[in-house]
Amino acid sequence: MCTDKAIVIAAYLPQYHPISENDEWWGAGFTEWVNASKARPLFPSHYQPHIPADLGFYDLRLPETRIAQADMARKYGVNGFCYYHYWFAGKRILERPFNEVLQSGAPDFPFCLNWANQSWTGVWHGASKRVLMEQTYPGDSDHRNHFEALLPAFFDKRYIRVDGKPLFFIFRPAELPDAKRTLDLWREMAVRAGLPGLFFVAEHQNPYWPASDHGFDAILNTRGFPKRREWVSWKTPLKKIHGKILDIRGVPTIVNYGSMSSHFVPDHDSNEFVIPCVIPNWDNTPRSGFRGYVLHGSSPDLFRVQLRRALDKVARYQVEKRFVYVKSWNEWAEGNHLEPDRKFGHGYLKALKEEVSGGG
């Protein structure tokens, strides 16, 4: 379903199949489902665990699963997936699902990539100082190898483009040494390969960050995305929930979704091209326990309000640039998903479809 109101892209996590590295770090057969399924409520009215409905506890090695996801996304107004992509100085990880999508041509559903350029640590299990996979930047040779590895995806007919240029997100732009020089190198390589260039988007919490000064074409404004520093400055922990007083020292950081959602899409305009990021829900206690963060009280109706704000913001752009980014399609251990669960069913998906189609 395509409309003039928005091009909806949903972040897509590939960690639903076992890999040797996770087997070594966390035990045989570890996937995202291990953390998601063991979650338990940590305070009164805490919604955990999140149990998947229609698609079940799937395995992304199965093409039938990937096709079912795309069919569902398309039905409810998602126009493409943004697959998380991992590159550690030449080493790929969790690459199998996307590689099979690329090689098989199925599902026939638009996509782009987001380089999740961060070190992997044991933070999910309370071991933040344990480095599992370090993100390094050895130099131009590595950047060239990285680009060449991505080139088959950039040429795929399903790849999402802006003015003919493949759309590429970078998760932590500030950690990329001399970003402008690196992105200019990739643009030059893209032109030599026969592409009109690349369209780079920096994830950033500040919509006024000077993206163009660092070589980026746009900002994915993740202002509402829970990061410790931001939440400490904004949070108002709920000391009383449904009449019960909580000792907030023994519960995760709890923030009311309804009161926080006004922060997700900024009111004021930026001189940069800003892609709004909407968040249906968030609760990473399955990974982090009492160190986690909970957007409490999320609902499809409140998500709808956030969507309307995002759609209003992108209305000023040309139709082909009216991107709205949803975080996320399937980050279950962070309680952050559009995929249906047993509590809300298709509620969030229906809200998305109705707002994007104009029927909300």
Q: Does the residue 163 lie in any domain?
A: yes
Answer whether residue 63 is part of any domain.
Answer: yes
User: Rounded to 5 degrees, what are φ and ψ at 145?
Assistant: -65, -40
Count of C-beta atoms within a 10 Å radius of residue 185: 16
Residue 146 structure tokens: 């990285």
Share of the chain above pLDDT 70, in %: 90
Q: What is the mean pLDDT of residues 337-345?
A: 98
The whole-number average pLDDT for the span 99-127 is 90
Tokens of 123: 């933070």
Domain count, the chain: 1
**How remote is the C-alpha of 41 from its chain's centroid?**
24
The answer to the question of residue 258 being in a domain is no
- Note whether residue 238 is domain-resident: no
**What is the Cα 284 distance to its own chain's centre?**
14
Peptide bond into 328 cis (omega under 30): yes
Whether the pTM exceeds 0.85: the reply is yes
State the pLDDT confidence band at 229, using cuts at 50, 70 and 90: very low
Is the Cβ–Cβ distance between 1 and 350 less than 8 Å? no
Print the domain residue range for 46: 7-226+263-284+298-357
Task: Provide the 8-state DSSP code for 155.
Answer: H
Helix (H, G, I), strand (E, B) or coil at 277: strand
CA proximity to 6, closest of 308, 336, 328, 341:
308
- 2 in a structural domain: no
Residue 85, judged by CB atoms within 10 A of its CB (0-12, 13-18, 19+), counts as buried
Report, as an integer, the average pLDDT of 229-252.
53
The pLDDT tens digits of the residues spanning 143-158 come to 999 999 999 999 999 9
Query: Which pair of structure tokens corresponds to residue 238?
Result: 């709920």
Query: What is the total residue count of the chain?
Result: 360
Q: How far apart are CA 300 and CA 65, in angstroms?
A: 25
Residue 37 exposed, middle or buried by CB count within 10 Å (0-12, 13-18, 19+): middle
Q: Is the peptide bond before 49 cis (omega within 30 degrees of 0)?
A: yes
Could you give the residue ranges of the DSSP H alpha helices within the chain? 20-26, 32-38, 63-75, 96-104, 140-155, 179-193, 228-234, 257-264, 285-288, 300-314, 347-357
Confidence at 130, pLDDT banded by 50, 70, 90:
confident
Would residue 290 count as lying in a domain?
Answer: no
pLDDT of residue 233: 39
Quick check: 16 and 333 in contact, CB under 8 A?
Answer: no
CB-based contacts of 340, cutoff 8 Å, min separation 6? 52, 53, 54, 55, 346, 347, 348, 349
CATH number at residue 45: 3.20.20.80
Tell me the average pLDDT across 298-322. 95
Lowest mean pLDDT among 13-22, 216-225, 297-306: 216-225
Cα separations in angstroms, 332 against 157, 202, 205, 290, 324: 29, 24, 22, 17, 21
Q: Could you tell me if residue 246 is inside a domain? A: no
Vertex 174, ends 265 and 314: CA angle to 5°? 25
Whether residue 1 is contained in a domain is answered as no
Q: What angle do CA 325, 331, 335 make, to 5 degrees?
A: 105
- Reported as a single tens digit per residue, the pLDDT across 27-86 is 999 999 999 999 999 988 999 999 999 999 999 999 999 999 999 999 999 999 999 999
The percent of residues above 90 in pLDDT, for the chain, comes to 78
CB 205 within 8 A of CB 265: no
Report the mean per-residue pLDDT for the chain: 91
State which H helix or E strand residue 331 sits in: strand 330-331
Cα 295 to Cα 221: distance, rounded to the nearest angstrom = 18
* pLDDT for residue 22: 95
Say yes or no to pLDDT of 184 above 80: yes
